[in-house]
């Protein structure tokens, strides 16, 4: 039998989840290399680099070693775009080791693995996403760019179940983006549009990885 394929990895590190509903929970992050998009506001351009090849067992060994020093119940596969690579064997190994699995994705590709928590972040200009995420997403994060419109938020709100929050996330450290996010949130409140939230990136505020 062939060994599982190696994955291209940028970094593996412990931190607090800084975004979305899981904000503040200790989490071990595995950043996969490569992305199929090139967002101008990308704050993880490190993931555009090639990364280094690692077998799933090597990645698991690092996760287990980190977990001894920084106990965490969650592992988060992030990027870049994790779904560009064959992550099934790694996802299975993470679950088998007893961790809960979060995957952060731009949602353009079909989800081919199981995860406890899909955190999706559709991107401009068209904010398109694979339809499988309508039911799977636990949260929809939108980076508040200059181009993000109320129309886009309302359109996405109409596509996802009411229980799935749409989270307005200002571009890190940009005051205009924070103001715009608050203003969009208020308009949604006043118009009776439910489950729209505001969230700053906790790890940026704390200046941790
Ligand atoms: S999808 Fe995410 S990782 Fe990829 S370029 Fe856009 S912001 Fe960066």
Q: How far is the CA of 114 from the centre of ligand 1 (A)?
A: 22
Q: Could you count the other beta carbons within 10 Å of the beta carbon of residue 126?
A: 9
Q: How far is the CA of 206 from the centre of ligand 1 (A)?
A: 22
Instruction: Give the torsion through C-alpha atoms of 113, 118, 122, 128, to 10 deg.
Output: 50
Which pLDDT score is estimated for 172? 84
**Residues framing ligand 1 (Cβ under 6 A):** 35, 37-39, 42, 44, 47, 79-81, 106, 123
Give the residues across from 139 on adjacent strands.
119
Tokens 């994705």, residue located? 105
Q: List the chain domain ranges.
A: 7-206
Smallest Cα–Cα separation from 136: which of 117, 149, 157, 150? 117
Smallest Cα–Cα separation from 103: which of 151, 71, 139? 139
pTM of this structure: 0.96
- Tokens representing residue 58 in the block: 């090597």
DSSP state of 99: -
Q: How far is the CA of 133 from the centre of ligand 1 (A)?
A: 18
Which pLDDT score is estimated for 2? 60
The answer to whether the beta carbons of residues 62 and 13 sit under 8 Å apart is no
Q: At what angle do helices 56-69 and 88-96 cross, to 10 degrees?
A: 40
* DSSP state letters, 109-122: S---S--SEEEE--
Q: How far is the CA of 184 from the centre of ligand 1 (A)?
A: 23
> Which atom of ligand 1 has the smallest separation from the CA of 35?
4
CB burial of 104-122 (b: ≥16 within 10 Å; e: otherwise) equals bbbbbbebebebebbbbbb
Q: How far is the CA of 179 from the centre of ligand 1 (A)?
A: 23
Which pLDDT score is estimated for 3? 65
Kindly report the protein residue whose alpha carbon is nearest to atom 6 of ligand 1. Answer: 39
Which pLDDT score is estimated for 4? 66
Kindly report the protein residue whose alpha carbon is nearest to atom 8 of ligand 1. Answer: 42
The answer to whether the beta carbons of residues 119 and 102 sit under 8 Å apart is yes
Tokens 């949602």, residue located? 107
Q: What CATH number does domain 7-206 carry, 3.20.20.70, 1.10.10.10, 3.40.640.10, 3.40.50.720? A: 3.20.20.70
- Tokens representing residue 166 in the block: 């749409």
Q: Could you count the other beta carbons within 10 Å of the beta carbon of residue 35?
A: 20
Q: What does pLDDT average to in each consecutive run of 10 residues of the chain (209 residues)?
A: 82 98 98 97 93 97 98 98 98 98 98 97 97 98 97 98 98 94 98 96 93
């Amino acid at each position: 039998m062939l060994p599982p394929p190696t994955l291209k990895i940028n970094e593996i590190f412990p931190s607090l989840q800084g975004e979305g509903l899981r904000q503040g929970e200790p989490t071990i992050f595995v950043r996969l290399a490569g992305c199929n998009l090139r967002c101008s506001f990308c704050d993880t351009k490190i993931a555009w680099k090639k990364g280094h090849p690692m077998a799933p067992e090597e990645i698991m060994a690092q996760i287990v070693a980190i977990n001894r020093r920084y106990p965490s119940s969650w592992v988060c596969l992030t990027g870049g775009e994790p779904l560009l690579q064959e992550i099934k064997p790694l996802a299975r190994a993470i679950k088998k080791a007893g961790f809960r699995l979060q995957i952060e994705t731009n949602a353009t590709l079909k989800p081919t693995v199981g995860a406890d928590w899909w955190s999706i972040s559709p991107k401009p200009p068209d904010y398109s996403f694979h339809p499988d995420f309508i039911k799977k997403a636990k949260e929809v994060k939108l980076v508040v760019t200059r181009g993000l419109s109320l129309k886009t938020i309302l359109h996405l709100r109409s596509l996802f179940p009411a229980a799935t929050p749409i989270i307005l996330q200002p571009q890190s450290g940009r005051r205009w983006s924070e103001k715009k996010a608050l203003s969009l949130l208020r308009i949604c409140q006043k118009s009776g549009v439910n489950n729209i939230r505001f969230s700053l990136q906790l790890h940026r505020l704390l200046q941790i990885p």
